[in-house]
Structure 1
Amino acid sequence: MTADDSLSRLDDDDYPAYTMGRAAEMIGTTQSFLRAIGDARLITPLRSPGGHRRYSRYQLRIAARARELVDQGTPIEAACRIIILEDQLEEAQRINAEHRRAAEPANPTATA
């Protein structure tokens, strides 16, 4: 691995750069909270060769959103389901927008 490869990982949202302790600290929660959202299958941390959980920036954003909902009084299981549904809705809207763009005529003519 070259130095350029290592540096490019810093820009990779999916690279599992953070330990459980650091991840919990970054989003202001506990390690048990991260375990709970993992058990609810909201996020699945990768494992280091030693078996320790490692989190990406993308996963930390999801965990922070879950924490926000839980802090507002939403049960953790419901918070996880809400986030999953929000993600599915966003994906469906993205796909619909792509279909609409593909269906538009290449050279729309002005009507008089």
Structure 2
Amino acid sequence: MPPAGSRPVDNLDDDDYPAYTMGRAAEMLGTTPAFLRALGEHRLITPLRSEGGHRRYSRYQLRIAARARELADQGTPIEAACRIVILEDQLEEARRINEQLRTRGHDSKSSA
């Protein structure tokens, strides 16, 4: 049951909403459920579970999984692919935070 005040349509724009079953996610990525389970075992993505215990994936998780699949398709072992994707994600987050801090610093200097 969705929280009070939220509309189901809001979930369509939510990158973190666990909208995809394991079968659908594997189909969209052109891979197997076993590949998705392996990503979970290597802690790259942790799918949410439905009330029945089934794995559910978000669009964000599918993008992460797609990047791992690219690396695996190029011959990178799954464990290494997961580590690379984690590091890439951390780097992107650090760059985003750095840009925010740089922008704030610039804004405060221009208003002084």
Tell me whether the two structures share a fold, i.e. TM-score over 0.5: yes
Match of 1:36 in 2: 38
Aligned-partner residue type, residue 57 of structure 2:
Y
Q: Give the one of 97, 100, 109 matched to 2:99.
A: 97
Higher Cα Rg: structure 1 or 2? 1
Q: Secondary structure, in 3 states, of the residue corresponding to 2:7?
A: helix
CA distance in 1, matches of 2:10, 2:97: 29
Q: In the TM superposition, what is the alpha-carbon distance from 1:107 to its structure 2 partner?
A: 4.9
Report how many residues are paired: 107
C-alpha distance after superposition, 1:21-65 (max 9, x if no partner): 000000100000000000000000000000000001110111111
- Flag structure 1 segments of 5+ consecutive residues without an equivalent: none
Q: Secondary structure, in 3 states, of the residue corresponding to 1:54?
A: strand
Q: Give the one of 88, 107, 110 matched to 1:106.
A: 110
Match of 1:70 in 2: 72
Instruction: Give the 4+ runs in structure 1 shifted more than 4 A.
Output: none
Q: Secondary structure, in 3 states, of the residue corresponding to 2:31?
A: coil
- Flag structure 2 segments of 5+ consecutive residues without an equivalent: none
CA distance in 1, matches of 2:52, 2:40: 18
C-alpha distance after superposition, 1:73-104 (max 9, x if no partner): 00000000001101111111122222222222
Q: Secondary structure, in 3 states, of the residue corresponding to 1:59?
A: helix
Matches within 5 A, 1:51-62: 51-62=53-64
Q: What RMSD in Å do the two structures reach over aligned CA positions? A: 1.7
Aligned-partner residue type, residue 71 of structure 1:
D
The alignment status of 1:22 with 2:27, answered yes or no, reads no
Aligned-partner residue type, residue 52 of structure 1:
H
